[in-house]
Amino acid sequence: MPKTRTIAFSGGGTGGHIYPGLAVIEALRGRWDGRIVWIGSSKDSDRRAVEGAGIEYFAIPSGKLRRSFSLENAVDGFRVLAGYLAARRLLSELEPELLFSKGGYVSVPPCAAAASLGIPVFTHESDLTPGLATRLNARRAERILVSYEKTRGLLPEAARGRATVVGNPVRAAIRRGDRERGRALLGAPEGLPVVFFLGGSQGARQVNELVAAALPALAKSAFVVHQTGEAQSGSGLVGSAGHECDAASKGRYKPFAYLRDEMPDVLAAADLVVGRSGAGTLWECAALGKPMLLVPLCGSGTRGDQVDNARLFVEAGAASMLLGPEATPAALVAGIEAFLGDPGRLAAAGAAAKTLAGSDAARLAADLILDRLGVAR
């Protein structure tokens, strides 16, 4: 019996490394009748997201990649080596015709293992500035897919000729979101604008604290939707002073620990999105033409990718930004009111976001994969 043709995907750590990869897989379905598998970390959230999309999932050991010196580097070095050996064994058994990396530290060992076995590697970078995983994977990648033209120039000179600008893949379900269905799901009163606070798939403590402080003022003129993040949902940040109860009694506040199937409709219902500036959040909002007020993660412990992403959207007129100490409750309320009080500005920012989203990156990436494998499309 002939062996089933297989494509392997790798990546993980956050939703920003999972969902764009799933969007590419979605674009492959119907045009690829072979097997698709995912090699990821042992994180339950990663496994749930991938298996929830009907994809086989294989976990390997993974160690975090750090730019700074840390005693943990020694321990993680052994984990990276273990991940490489596990990935090499797994890839030898699966015999995929191509490995597509969506980034994150878990993707580095599979990319190295694939290269050692002669398996072609494609890697995709969602952020404006290439992360460490992408820089490592790019050394072995046959093709490097990037979201922005500027990113190509930030790659090592030897890698630029292998780079292709495709954008950031977005799940088709996001584009199918329905505004009225979303408002009905939320119970948003007629005529009241919806402000959606989104801290990324894992939530964001800073965003949650801002919501807690600003909620009494915001609930006077808007319906507030808040994804707290599963890790933050029990922290008591929101409503710690009774604000949640006050707003809820007015029917103007709706918190969620995490949004999965409901996300497309809730996002479609939003008049303004407030939150972090991870690539996945930005592009899902941009695909629907949503204006944004961004509070990027910054300071020690981050490479500054969210700040770079946010600045690009601000310069394009798609968003405004509160950076570092600027992100106070008063400034947040003022920034939101400035948007909601100016329909023309809201519309212009939404149009600019839609322009940034460009074409269907998931389909473009899938086309490149199929072309490489000689599959008619």
**Tokens 């629907």 appear where?**
288
**H helix runs in the chain, sequence order:** 15-28, 44-52, 72-94, 108-116, 132-138, 149-154, 172-175, 179-186, 205-218, 243-249, 263-269, 279-287, 305-315, 329-340, 343-357, 361-372
Looking at this protein, which amino acid is placed at residue 334? A
**151 and 281 within one domain:** no
Q: Is residue 1 part of a domain?
A: no
307: which residues sit within 8 A by CB, 6+ positions away?
277, 296, 297, 298, 323
**274 and 150 within one domain:** no
Q: Which domain holds residue 262?
A: 173-357
**365 and 353 within one domain:** no
Q: How far apart are CA 352 and CA 230, in angstroms?
A: 31
**293 and 257 within one domain:** yes
Total number of domains constituting the chain: 2
In order along its 377 residues, the chain shows pLDDT tens digits of 678 999 999 998 777 789 999 999 999 998 999 999 999 999 998 999 999 999 999 999 986 654 555 556 555 667 889 999 999 999 999 999 999 999 888 999 999 999 999 999 999 999 999 988 999 999 999 999 999 999 999 998 999 999 999 999 999 999 999 999 999 999 999 999 999 999 765 557 899 999 999 999 999 999 999 998 876 554 444 444 445 556 554 689 999 988 889 999 999 999 999 999 989 889 999 999 999 999 998 875 567 889 999 999 999 999 999 999 999 999 999 999 999 999 999 999 999 999 999 889 999 999 999 999 999 76
Q: What does DSSP assign to residue 63?
A: -
**196 and 106 within one domain:** no
**pTM of structure:** 0.87
Residue 44 has a CB neighbour count (10 Å cut-off) of 9
User: Any bridge partners for residue 196, and if so which?
Assistant: 225, 273
Which CATH number do you get for residue 186?
Answer: 3.40.50.2000
**44 and 118 within one domain:** yes
